[in-house]
Structure 1
Amino acid sequence: MKGIASRGNHICFGKYALQALEPAWITSRQIEAGRRAMTRNARRGGKIWVRIFPDKPVTVRPAETRMGSGKGSPEYWVAVVKPGRILFEMGGVTKNIARKAISIAASKCRYELNSLFGDRIENITLKLPQRILRMKQKQKNKFRFMFVDKKYFFFSSPFAL
């Protein structure tokens, strides 16, 4: 997956969001686990929007089968996520509750995660592309997230160079 997300990179519905900083395939189970964790944490007060949908089937061949005989059956479904894509949005809750809920949702992914929260976005919004490059050099093949507060979301895309 090359490139940066050109669609789905704005906060549309809620006030807080979880944004991917690296490309990955997120399974339907991971999406559901994150949604449940956020719902439990927000309780009655908040509303949650899931902005990704697993629409790509991943096929698996049975073990110990010979070559040929067609493609394997679909085993699970994934959502293809590019950097900059908003995964979850949240509204109707305080900033502290949103931070806690989104960090729990980020931890439900099988990849190693890191959440960046709104108070740090104030300082790094202008220097975000360089920060992403440094992160990629330090830790390769790790899935990272960013907590986005609509109040500090200045540009059309935080990845605009």
Structure 2
Amino acid sequence: MRRFNTKINPTRQHKQIKKNINQTRHILKKGQFGLRSLEYIRVDSIQIDNLKRLIQKELKSLVKNTNLGKIKVWFYLLPNSPVTKLSPETRMGKGKGPIIGYCCYIRPGQLLFETANLPKIKTLELSSKIKNSLSFKVQSLFKFY
């Protein structure tokens, strides 16, 4: 029996998840405040929806219209990976199973969201409330002029 060579045929091996620091979405580009992850984690679409709802609720309760202009929010978490599951008593060889939901893989250094036109005191309140609700470590990013 001949073994296949992974150097010649790289498609036969499993795809490995890169666990290095994200270097493409790690700086603020549109807003003045953002949250950046410090851990590698998988986040479900339900958790993403809860985070969005929490941010919108806090922004609505903090300030409706500031003197800086209308508050803007940019989300960078998109649930793009499907999650499949088979029943636990299934024997091997029956296939992959149905899709039960979607998730998003977050690498260290990746931005979760950005906001613009918020006063500095309000952003500190917002960041503390969001940090307490998340299950992984995050870092606050500020860009005030």
TM-score range, shorter chain: 0.7 to 0.9
Distance 1:98 1:32 in 2: 20
Identity over the aligned pairs, expressed in percent? 28
CA distance in structure 1 between the partners assigned to 2:76 and 2:22 by the alignment: 13
Q: Within 5 A, what are the aligned runs for 1:40-55?
A: 40-43=57-60, 44-45=64-65, 46-55=71-80
SS of residue matched to 2:46: helix
Q: Choose the corresponding residue for 1:11, options 28, 31, 55.
A: 28
2:105 to 59, 65, 80: 80
Deviating above 2 A after TM superposition, structure 1's stretches of 4 or more consecutive aligned residues are 99-109
More helix by share: 1
Please name the residue that 2:117 is paired with.
Answer: 92
Over aligned residues, Cα RMSD in angstroms? 1.8
Q: Which residue of 2 aligns with 1:65?
A: 90
Higher relative contact order (CA 8 A, sep 6+): 2
**Aligned residue identity for 1:145:** V
Structure 1: which 5+ runs fail to align?
112-142, 153-161
So what's the TM-score if we normalise by structure 2? 0.74
Q: Given the alignment, which residue of 133, 138, 143 partners 1:145?
A: 138
Paired AA for residue 41 in structure 1: E
* AA of the residue aligned to 1:101: L
Q: 1:55 to 1:93 in 2, by over 3 A?
A: same
Aligned residue identity for 1:100:
E
Larger radius of gyration: 2
> Structure 1 counterpart of 2:22, which letter?
A
Q: Which amino acid aligns with 1:70?
A: G
